[in-house]
Structures are given as structure tokens and as C-alpha cells.
């Protein structure tokens, strides 16, 4: 009996994942593509090495000559505001080779903006019972909006 095993070859289209800017506590998403450059079936799994990162699907099978797009999500809830880089954030393990991807994300600090910044109630008669005035105050998170 003779068995020929065709090799599979893993190729990843990016060396690292860049999520850009995200507000503190928000989620961001990006994608990357796995390609099987060999002649056999490529099988493997994705391992996220940081708790704030998830990938889907976690396990994959890619026929020879085909590609698969993976979705990676970052949750900035536990991150400190500022530039975050991690060189070994995601590992692709397969029978056709391994790849290690880094991650870049910029977590923006929350900023509060008050509209209007000055509230003018005008003249108020404190002697007359029931005298009063109302004003509206809007508070919003201006992170990443140029505030």
C-alpha cells in the first residue's frame, strides 16, 4: 500500500492586526485572511493570547488553493487608555505552518463636553413664592469626536 500525503501551506495576509482608535469600553473588529498555498487540506485553530481578544472561527479547514476570512474582535473594557501593542497577541496553529500576529489599538480616554458650558438663568425674584426657572444640560462622551 502506498499513501501520498499532500502538503498544506499556511499563508496569512497581514503581519499584524490594526484596530485603529476605539473609545474606552467599546469593541472594535477587524479581519484577516488565511490562504492554503499547498495541495492538501489545511486544518488548524486560532489561539488568542490576551483576554480582551477573540477570533472567529476558532478552528478552521481550508481546502487546497482556497482562502478563509477570520473575524477578530477587541474589547477595550479592561485596557488602559493610550496606544496598546502586543507582539504575540494571536497565534494561528496548523498542519501547514504557524503564524503569530501582533495587535495595535489606540484606546481613547473618555472626555465630557457640556452643552452649553455656561447656564444663564437671568434674573430670579427670590421674594415671590414659587418663582423659578429651568435650564437643560446635555452631557455626552466626546471621545474620538474631536472634542
Kindly list the structural domains of the chain, giving each domain's residue range(s) and its CATH number in brackets, ordered by start. 10-108 (2.60.40.10)
Strands 16-23 and 97-108: parallel
Structure confidence at residue 133 as a pLDDT band (50, 70, 90) = low
| 93 pLDDT higher than 80 | yes
Give pLDDT, residue 38. Answer: 93
CA-based end-to-end distance of the chain: 72
For residue range 22-35, what is the model confidence (pLDDT) as tens digits? Answer: 998 899 999 999 99
- In angstroms, the Cα distances linking 71 to 21, 47, 79, 96, 113 are 17, 13, 20, 20, 34
Structure confidence at residue 7 as a pLDDT band (50, 70, 90) = confident
Amino acid at each position: 500500500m502506498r499513501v501520498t500525503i499532500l502538503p498544506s501551506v499556511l499563508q496569512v495576509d497581514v503581519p499584524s492586526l490594526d484596530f485603529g482608535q476605539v473609545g474606552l469600553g467599546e469593541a472594535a473588529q477587524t479581519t484577516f485572511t488565511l490562504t492554503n498555498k499547498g495541495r492538501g487540506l489545511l486544518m488548524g485553530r486560532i489561539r488568542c493570547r490576551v483576554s480582551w481578544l477573540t477570533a472567529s472561527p476558532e478552528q478552521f479547514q481550508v481546502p487546497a488553493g482556497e482562502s478563509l476570512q477570520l473575524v477578530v474582535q477587541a474589547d477595550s473594557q479592561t485596557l488602559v487608555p493610550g496606544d496598546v501593542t502586543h507582539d504575540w497577541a494571536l497565534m494561528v496553529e496548523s498542519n501547514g505552518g504557524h503564524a503569530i500576529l501582533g495587535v495595535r489599538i489606540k484606546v481613547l480616554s473618555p472626555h465630557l463636553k457640556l452643552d452649553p458650558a455656561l447656564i444663564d438663568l437671568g434674573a430670579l425674584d427670590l421674594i415671590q413664592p414659587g418663582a423659578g426657572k429651568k435650564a437643560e444640560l446635555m452631557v455626552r462622551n466626546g471621545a474620538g469626536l474631536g472634542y
